[in-house]
């Protein structure tokens, strides 16, 4: 095997002779990488937003359950004529409830 044949089979010498091909081969690779990266980035942003929304909903539901449990707990208060238990200062008429609420603010 001659030295010229050995040199032409070497990849570096091939690239040196066909340097202009690197631009045309490399550009689509860089472009495809960019497009895939941006696509994945948008997908991850959407998933992160969905997770954030679900966490907010879960926390809101937990707080509502806590409030409901606190409101349902029996505590000292006055009993209405039907036997239901009401907190101090709250009666069954809507008028006194409104006045109680407005006076507390």
In contact, 76 and 88? CB cutoff 8 Å? yes
The more confidently predicted of residues 62 and 94 is 62
Over residues 3-35, the pLDDT tens digits come to: 555 545 677 787 778 788 888 888 999 999 999
- Enumerate the β-bridge partners of residue 86: 78
pTM: 0.42
pLDDT at res. 105:
41
pLDDT at 84 over 60: no
pLDDT at res. 47:
94
Q: What are phi and psi of 2, to 5 degrees?
A: -80, 165
pLDDT at res. 14:
77
């Amino acid at each position: 095997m001659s030295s010229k044949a050995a040199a032409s089979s070497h990849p570096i010498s091939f690239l040196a002779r066909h340097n202009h091909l690197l631009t045309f081969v490399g550009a689509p690779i860089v472009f495809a990488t960019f497009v895939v990266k941006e696509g994945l980035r948008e997908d991850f942003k959407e998933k992160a937003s969905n997770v954030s929304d679900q966490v907010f909903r879960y926390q809101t539901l937990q707080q509502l359950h806590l409030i409901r449990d606190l409101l349902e707990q029996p505590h000292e208060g006055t009993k209405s004529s039907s036997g239901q238990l009401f907190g101090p200062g709250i009666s069954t008429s809507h008028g006194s409830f409104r006045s109680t609420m407005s006076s507390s603010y």
